[in-house]
Amino acid sequence: MSKTVNDIMQMKSKEKITVLTGYDSTMTTLCDKADVILVGDSAGMVMLGYDSTKDVTMDDMVRFTTAVKNAKTDSLIVTDLPINSYENEDSAITNSKRLILAGAHAVKLEGGKEVADIIRVVKDSGIPVMGHLGLLPQTAEKYSVQAKKSEDAVRLIEDAKILEQSGVFSIVLEMVTSDVTKIITKNITVPTIGIGSGKDCDGQVLVIHDMLGMFEKIKPKFAKRYLNLSEEIRNAVGSYVKDVKDEQFPGEEHTFSMEKDELEKLEKENV
């Protein structure tokens, strides 16, 4: 049975929540053990080759969400509202509905108290919202650890409480000091999902390409690599190229032939 937003909320303090990003059907099918598949706008970097998430469009996110939905996974599907898609209440609702129609069960958006009203109206329209605090890739000038100074920490803790009151069902904390993560997680009733924010979150999220070791442009300190897939892919491609050049591929077992009598008939045609 498919996971629901309620299932995820109930997991707080009982069982760690696992989240992986997903952008396509094949990979999502292989990730069905994850509680949540996040169709993240990190797609801009790992799928579309951009330098950041700032060029990702609604059309991109709709297409990736459709692909993930087609995996027919039991995981909850949450899709990022991309930059410039939730500038006001009307656009936030219209674009959230588009993502839900494409197959998302919930949407995620970045920001603290400045997006509280947007979160409230999207939630009131019947669409569950995941918040995102700490490092905000859609607006960040550079990627750096958040809440190192006490005044930044106070602001972040306040933002987390405001988001909770606005009705988010969970909050991603990106690159937040583990001390502040612990305080936020203790002080709000909705689950926190960490990325580079230590072990005290209620769950963890990783970009699938980082986790599998197949994204080489950036290697964040916080992303544990469970495979070195880029090396495996390069080796496999090298073997394929060598086999074709050496005429070792395709072999008999990869080849289709005509029946002998049909071949004889063809030969008589003198073509």
42 binds ligand KIV (CB under 6 A): yes
Q: Which one of 118, 195, 211, 212 is in contact with ligand KIV (CB under 6 A)? A: 195
Q: Which of 245, 211, 246, 243 is nearest to 230 (CA)?
A: 211
C-alpha closest to that of 204 among 15, 5, 7: 15
Residue 107's SS3 state is: strand
Q: What is the CA radius of gyration of the chain?
A: 23
Q: Rule CB under 6 A: say whether 80 interacts with ligand KIV.
A: yes
As measured in angstroms, the least distance from the Cβ of 133 to ligand KIV is 11
Question: In the bound complex, what is the minimum distance in angstroms from residue 205's beta carbon to ligand KIV?
Answer: 5
Q: Which is closer to ligand KIV, CB of 11 or CB of 151?
A: 11
Cβ(136)–Cβ(110) below 8 Å: yes
Rounded Cα gap, residues 8 and 19, in angstroms: 11
Q: Which of 205, 209, 213, 215 binds ligand KIV (CB under 6 A)?
A: 205
Which residue, 51 or 90, is less far from ligand KIV as judged by CB? 51
Give the binding range for ligand KIV (CB under 6 A) out of 7-15, 35-43, 111-119, 237-245.
35-43
Among 21, 28, 146, 170, indicate the residue that binds ligand KIV (CB under 6 A): 21
Smallest separation (angstroms) from ligand KIV to the CB of 165 = 22
Q: Is 234 exposed, middle or buried (0-12, 13-18, 19+ CB in 10 A)?
A: exposed
Give the single-character DSSP code of 114.
Answer: G
Give the nearest residue (CB) to ligand KIV.
40
Burial string for 35-46 (b: 16+ CB within 10 Å, else e) reads bbbbbbbbbbbb
Q: Which of 174, 259, 262, 269 is catalytic?
A: 174
Build a one-symbol-per-residue string for 82-121: x at contacts with ligand KIV by CB under 6 A, - elsewhere: ----------------------------------------
The phi and psi torsions of 206 (rounded to 5 degrees) equal -135, 150
Does residue 181 belong to the site contacting ligand KIV (CB under 6 A)? no
Residues in the chain: 271
* Interaction of residue 40 with ligand KIV, rule CB under 6 A: yes
Whether residue 174 lies in the annotated active site: yes
CA distance 107 to 96: 7
Measured from the CB atom, the residue of 162 and 205 that comes closer to ligand KIV is: 205
Structure tokens at 155: 């602001």
Q: Which residues bind ligand KIV (CB under 6 A)?
A: 21, 38, 40-42, 80, 172, 174, 195, 205, 207
